[in-house]
């Protein structure tokens, strides 16, 4: 029992040491309908992508330094987003489809269906 307590205490110290370097430096209200799961911070393009799902589905784009709104990609339902800085394309995905966009113009490029395998 003592060994378990020591391991737990050690794990707690390691975890708290890792989180000590992170701190909130600025907040902004996103607002509007729709939920979100994962946001993406593009450190190269200095933008923050917030994919929104549900009613009013869209990807809201913010300046990463000021958190000011930069634009929005309408009619894009997504739970997560990612950006390829080399090709200047962004991607938002949901269960049903993946949307691609231009990170330069912040406009939708296309959509593709996501085909999930049928369970046996």
Report how many domains make up the chain: 1
Nearby residues of 29 by Cβ (< 8 Å), 6 or more positions away: none
Plot region of 10 (φ>0 → left; ψ -120 to 50 → alpha; else → beta): alpha
- 51 SS3 class: strand
Instruction: Report the CATH number at residue 109.
Output: 2.40.10.480
One digit per residue, the tens of pLDDT, for the chain of length 120 reads 444 445 455 455 555 555 567 778 888 777 777 777 788 889 898 988 888 887 878 888 899 899 999 888 888 777 888 888 888 888 777 776 777 677 777 766 665 555 556 566
Whether residue 101 contacts residue 59, with contact meaning beta carbons closer than 8 Å, is answered with yes
Is residue 80 included in any domain, yes or no? yes
How far is the C-alpha of 30 from the C-alpha of 102, rounded, in Å? 21
Reported pTM:
0.68
Is residue 11 included in any domain, yes or no? no
Is residue 14 included in any domain, yes or no? no
Is residue 3 included in any domain, yes or no? no
């Amino acid at each position: 029992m003592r060994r378990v307590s020591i391991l737990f205490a050690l794990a707690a110290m390691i975890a708290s040491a890792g989180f000590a370097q992170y701190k909130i430096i600025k907040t902004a209200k996103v607002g509007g309908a729709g939920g979100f799961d994962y946001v993406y911070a593009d450190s190269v393009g200095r933008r923050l992508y917030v994919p929104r799902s549900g009613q009013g589905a869209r990807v809201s784009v913010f300046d990463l330094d000021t958190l000011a709104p930069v634009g929005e990609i309408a009619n894009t339902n997504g739970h997560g987003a990612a950006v390829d800085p080399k090709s200047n394309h962004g991607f938002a995905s949901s269960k049903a489809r993946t949307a691609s966009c231009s990170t330069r113009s912040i406009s939708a490029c296309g959509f593709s269906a996501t085909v999930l395998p049928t369970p046996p």
